[in-house]
Structure formats: C-alpha cells, structure tokens
Amino acid sequence: MGNCCGRGSTAVDDNFAGFDLTGTNDPKVIARETCFTEDEVYALFELFRQVSTSVVADGLIHKDEFSVAIFKTSKTNLFVERVFELFDVKKNGVVDFGEFVRSLSVFHPHAPLRDKIDFSFNIYDMKHTGVIEKDEVSHLLLALLHENPDLRLPKEAVADLVDRTFQEVDKSKSGYISKEEWHTLCSQNPTVIAYMTLSVLKELTTRFPSFVFKKQT
C-alpha cells in the first residue's frame, strides 16, 4: 500500500478532509499496534467517517453517534455508556479515530483472550475499584434487560441471579469478584464473554472494498 498520509501528515484526499490521521492516528502506526492490517484500518476509517459525521460533522464520535452506530439505538443506556467510556481513552467526551480502532481491536476474533477478559471486567467495574460488586452487576444487567423486551425479568429474579452468580464465582467469599476470579470464570467458560468477539471484523476489506482499493497505489 502506498503512503496515503504522506510522511505522516494529514492526507489531502477529500475522504480525509477534517480528520487527523497523523501521529498516533496514522493508519500505519495503528496497524502495528492492533489486530488489523493496514488495509483493514483504512476500511475501518470508512466506518469511522460515516459514524463521526452522522450527527456532528467534526471528525470525532460523540456518545449519541456511538449509540446509534454501534448499538442501533438512539437512547443511551448504562451498557452503552460503559463501552463508550472505555473507548474514550483520553476521557474528553469524544472518540477519535485512533481510540476507535485500538478499542475495537479487542473485539477482533484474533485478539488475545486475556485482553477480552480485561476489557469485559472494566465494563462491570463501574466504580473503578478494581473489583466487581453486586450492585454494579445488577445495574448493568437491568439496563441490558430494559433494552430487550423479550428478556424482561422482575428485579427479584435479577437479584437472585446475581446472588447465585456471586456464590459460584466469588471463591474467596469476599462479597465481590476480583480480577483473578473473573479471569478464572471467563477462561473456563468463554461463552460468558462471547459478546467480546465480532466475527464481522474479519470481513472489513470485503465490506468496504472500493475504499481500500482507492487507497492503494
């Protein structure tokens, strides 16, 4: 692939107008640090371009754009907010191209299982205490159930489910789930974090073939 960014500077192609693809956002740099090839990074740029201009055309993904594009809902919920917060590595309320692709890399089928487990643990660790507490699991589970009418459960049933889960996973009987206990659970039962793998990420260049081809020389 040719150097589309011209020595790391912002590309002059109209497709890149308004987007910063320099420094840590340089596709070559991102490809070296993620599970994606350089072609796939450019394909992801097409997705990023569509998402980041869907509401506010500023070359950044805002929470409402993230919610619609990734979760197909105009309403933000606790789960959406947690995932967005983890994508927003700089903690400035928006997600730039580099943050988007690097965070998305953990969902790649070839991403290390440990990385997937750590990311999923951080989704539940809403208080940033380094452990998962019962109320965190309950709040997140209730938020997910609220978005799916077919899986509605009374709060009592959710509380009972959480209690039984903690009885099984909390081997130390500390009242919370440590990162080590979470790793043990997910390593023995990978289906617990099946949502952390998106097979579509292996099909990026076939979904955006014209864009990738245009970037080649």
Mark out the alpha helices in 53-176 (DSSP H runs): 63-71, 78-87, 97-104, 113-124, 134-146, 155-169
Q: Locate the domains of the chain by residue range.
A: 14-110+199-215, 113-196
Topology of domain 113-196, CATH: Recoverin; domain 1 (1.10.238)
Q: Please give the model's pTM, rounded to 2 decimal places.
A: 0.81
Give the pLDDT score at 3: 37
Assign domain 14-110+199-215 to its CATH architecture. Answer: Orthogonal Bundle (1.10)
174 is written with which tokens? 């500390």
CA 84/CA 153 separation, integer angstroms: 26
Mean pLDDT by 10 residues, the chain (217 residues): 35 56 89 94 89 86 84 72 94 94 95 96 95 92 71 80 92 95 94 88 74 55
Same fold, 14-110+199-215 and 113-196: yes
Q: Which has the closest alpha carbon to 181: 200, 197, 166, 203? A: 166
| Spatial contact of 173 and 163, defined as CB atoms under 8 Å apart | no
